[in-house]
Amino acid sequence: MTITRRPNRLHHTAYVTKDLEATRAFYEDVIGLPLIATWTEQDELFGKLRTYCHVFFELNDGSCLAFFQFADPDDQAEFGPEIPSSPFIHVALHVDADTQADLEQRIAAAGITEPATYVLDHGYCRSVYVTDPNGMIIEFTCDTPGALEPAIDAERRATAHAELKRWLAGDRRNNNPYRHAA
């Protein structure tokens, strides 16, 4: 089956925060995402009346990172479990090289250092990782010039299913010619 209609773009991705002001300061003052909406609400959710604040920080394409904080500490404990601190659980945001360099400077100026921040060159992209006040890892990814050229993009799309099938069958050979020899 060929799917021709799919979602347009990310609207938002949502998380629970322990400290809305620390979260606001990090995303707005350090990262530069404007706070564009704050909704304070009270709803019957999951069998209980719950009061919460929901904030949205906008990306250039109009999508957002959103955060909730609950008024009731019991609700906060129920819905605000710790965000796992793993480099493999993160939000990746696309940036250009100048924006990435600017972000690195702002992160350093804010006093955020290792191990809360690090850089990884994947070969096809360069990534700057930083941990937010909630323990969530945010990745700022800049594609390597040429890695998304039409011919290379077409090859990746054409071989994606075969490469996944190969991996699942147990063939674990590297296929990243940008970072390591294949």
Q: What is the CATH number of domain 86-148?
A: 3.10.180.10
Q: pLDDT tens track of the chain, all 182 residues?
A: 787 888 788 889 999 998 999 999 999 999 999 999 999 998 998 999 999 999 999 999 999 999 999 999 999 989 876 766 677 778 999 999 999 999 999 999 999 987 778 898 888 889 999 999 988 899 999 988 877 778 888 888 889 889 989 988 888 888 887 766 54
Backbone angles phi, psi at 34, to 5 degrees: -70, 140
Tokens of 134: 């909630």
Residue 22, CA atoms < 13 Å, CB-side half-sphere: 11
146 is written with which tokens? 């040429």
pTM: 0.83
pLDDT for position 180: 60
Q: What is the pLDDT of residue 81?
A: 65
Taking only the tens place, the pLDDT of each residue in 34-70 is 999 999 998 998 999 999 999 999 999 999 999 999 9
Residues 6+ apart with CB under 8 A from 68: 14, 15, 16, 17, 52, 53, 54, 79, 80
Cα angle, residue 93 at apex, residues 87 and 99 outer, rounded to 5°: 115
One CATH from 3.30.2080.10, 3.10.180.10, 3.30.930.10, 1.20.1050.10 for 1-81: 3.10.180.10
The full set of domain ranges for the chain reads: 1-81, 86-148, 149-182
Predicted local confidence at residue 131, as pLDDT: 92
Quote the pLDDT of residue 153: 81
Count of Cβ atoms closer than 10 Å to residue 136 Cβ: 20
| Torsion sign, CA atoms 88, 93, 94, 98 | negative
One fold for 1-81 and 86-148: yes
Say what the pLDDT of residue 182 is: 47
